[in-house]
Amino acid sequence: MQLSKTEEELMNHLWKLEKAFMKDLLEAYPEPKPANTTVATLLKRMTDKGFVTYTKFGNSRQYQPMVKKKDYFSKHVNGLIKNFFNDSSSQFASFFTKETDLSKNELEELRAIIDNEIKNK
């Protein structure tokens, strides 16, 4: 299951905070801040989808993510590779290195990461 763009934005705030009350989440937004009801609706949908859980403290709820950011991002990248690059990581890597404006230094860093992964296999 996926999050909408607005849900992802809220989830990013929650991943950074790790645990947060509604007021903490609202404070994390830049101006203009969304309405309380908007954030409450998003949290409800995200809870229903299984991305967020909460602990009650009286009338307040402290929210926390149930999905790690790395796991969510990994699933998206793997879906992207499957759906747009014929399940070919090399096609994705070729596109990524040619179509993004990476500097020579960044490409060398990528090579080092890849070389390290090859050594570990």
For 20-56, the pLDDT digits (tens) are: 999 999 999 999 999 999 999 999 999 999 999 999 9
Q: Quote the domain boundaries for residue 107.
A: 69-120
Q: What is the pLDDT of residues 68-101, one digit of tens each?
A: 999 999 988 888 888 889 988 888 888 888 888 8
In this structure, what token pair is assigned to residue 47?
A: 């809870």
pLDDT of residue 69: 94
Same domain, yes or no: 54 and 74: no
Same domain, yes or no: 91 and 58: no
Question: Tell me, what CATH number does 20's domain have?
Answer: 1.10.10.10
Number of domain units in the chain: 2
**Which is more confident, 29 or 102?**
29
pTM, 2 dp: 0.77
Same domain, yes or no: 51 and 37: yes
Checking if the pLDDT of 1 tops 80, the result is: no
In this structure, what token pair is assigned to residue 8?
A: 């992802």
pLDDT of residue 35: 95
Average pLDDT over residues 55-69: 95
CA separation for the pair 11, 51 (Å, rounded): 8
SS3 category, 54: strand
pLDDT of residue 101: 86
